[in-house]
Amino acid sequence: MDDKSLETLNLIKAQTTGVTSSTGLTGIDLSGVVSLIPVNTPFYDSIPRQRSTTGAKYAQWKVLTDITNLQADPGTAFDYAAPLALLNEMDASAPYGKVGYGYTVTRDAENFAKGYVDARARGVFNSLSQYRIGIERKLLGGQVFNLPTPSTPTTATATTGGTVAANTYLIKVAARTGSNFYWGGSTDASAAGSQVTTGATSTLTASWPAIPGAVAYDVYVNGFYNTTTTVNKIVWTSTPAASNQPVPSIPGLNGTAPTAVPAVNTSGKATDFNGLLATLAGDYATGGATGLVTRGSGVSSGAAFQSLDGNPFTVNGQSIAELDTMFTTVFNKIQASPSRILLASQEATSLSKLLLSQAGGGTTFLTPTGGGRNNIEAGGYIGSYVNKAAGGVPVPLVVMPHLAPGTLFGVTDSGAAFAGADISNVFEMRQLDDVQDYQYATNRNSGVAGGGPRDDGEVFSTSALINRAPVGAAVLSNIAAS
């Protein structure tokens, strides 16, 4: 027994001689949980919310449309009554839609996280973060009605400039709304444009008419998904693959690639409400229908659309031709200036590059003392653009992180721009249910991991976007990066 005890003590001494970093005698630094989910929602944050006092499937209001050009001459002879002013009233409505994300937190998860993080609160916070991103995207691009089917692409080829193999190429396109851009779906595909190439040094080009309300187009070649583009034309310098391809690297684009040429139009989503772009691209319904309908099948919203057809902005000195045209169009409609320009990072960068690269576009003034000459800040950003048509009004450029690249809005937020229109807010989120954390009863589902006991819930709202004056807005689309 003594021999065994001595042997054990010797073994312990051998194992514990010295304390080093490898012995495992280390503390645990419980730093906080780090969330790397960017929650940047400027459009959602800028729109006032108004709770509805009456339950309904639609928010409804009346619109008096501009028929000034149809009015009689007001000049009146003495002893005669003046002519009656014409009035044209129209019913407008916006469908409510529910937006939300759920969460599940088991009791065991809460126990294991004690003293470190509130697991349930973290679940709610994560759902709330995703809700804010989701509602921002729906406010910009949600759409209930379908886009029209794209027209047949026009194709062309050149015998030099590329490596496209000799073949017959059948090219189809399908359009995406803002909601489709982020969560999938599209119109049905166009008829096929056909192009024969010869030799092995060819290029291949396809273009198609822009669809107001579309922010991207899926392109199919010989029955396979080839790519998605945010402009309405594409050029191949190498042979299109004879297989379905992954989606391209476009910020925000849904990562699941189509696997077949779409035969059914799924661009409109019954679970959406109509977002900003839809309120501009859709027509007011007539004949007893409710809500907005596909462009061309009702009464126009009055919003202006201009497509750059895959070209970049045109710069001349300190002017961007396309912005000047947009401002002139809006001014001719409402005799006022848009309040702000909403644009993606791509377009904000393009405008700054173009304007500051012009002669005299970015004059630098060096401060003679302090850090002015040895700590110079390089680069510049155009934060606003002067509306010449409205008499020199500066219009802020506001970057929208959840707006698809290639599309730009000029919007009029202030009701003051529409004198006598009795508009307090041009844009408004009408809420049947404002954003809330809805908690279900403690739940269980035996025999499966995560079955409980658990707390289930969801963060959601039931909302409609009201745009009382789409006539004060304009859209530039299919803008190529500069």
Question: How far apart (Å, rounded) are the C-alpha atoms in residues 403 and 344?
Answer: 5
DSSP code string of 365-414 = ---SSTTTTTSPPP-----EEEETTTTSEEEEEEE-TTS-TT-EEEE--B
Question: How far apart (Å, rounded) are the C-alpha atoms in residues 341 and 474?
Answer: 9
CB 97 within 8 A of CB 271: yes
Of 283, 280, 279, the C-alpha closest to 294 is: 283
User: What pLDDT shows up at residue 404?
Assistant: 95
CA atoms within 13 A on the CB side of 161: 10
Both structure tokens of 391:
């008499």
User: What pLDDT shows up at residue 6?
Assistant: 64
Both structure tokens of 282:
């859709």
Other beta carbons within 10 angstroms of residue 377's beta carbon come to 8
Other beta carbons within 10 angstroms of residue 50's beta carbon come to 15
Query: Over its length of 482 residues, how does the chain's per-residue pLDDT go in tens digits?
Result: 566 666 665 665 555 556 656 666 666 666 666 666 788 899 999 988 888 888 888 888 776 656 566 677 888 888 888 887 766 666 778 889 999 999 889 888 888 888 888 888 888 888 999 999 999 999 999 999 999 999 999 999 999 999 999 999 999 999 999 999 999 999 999 999 999 999 899 999 999 999 999 999 999 999 999 999 999 999 999 999 999 999 999 999 999 999 999 999 999 999 999 999 999 998 888 776 677 888 888 888 888 999 999 999 999 888 999 999 999 999 988 888 999 999 999 999 999 999 888 755 555 555 666 666 666 777 788 999 999 999 999 999 999 999 999 999 999 887 666 666 667 788 889 998 888 888 888 877 877 787 778 888 999 999 999 888 888 899 999 999 98
User: What pLDDT shows up at residue 413?
Assistant: 85
Both structure tokens of 319:
């002017």
Question: How far apart (Å, rounded) are the C-alpha atoms in residues 270 and 243?
Answer: 32
Give the C-alpha distances (Å, rounded to integers) separating 425 from 53, 172, 340, 343, 468.
18, 42, 15, 21, 8
CA atoms within 13 A on the CB side of 344: 23
Tokens 């107001």 belong to residue = 212
- 439-475: burial string, b at 16+ Cβ within 10 Å, e else: eeeeeeeeeeeeebebbbbbbbbbbbbbbbbbbbbbb
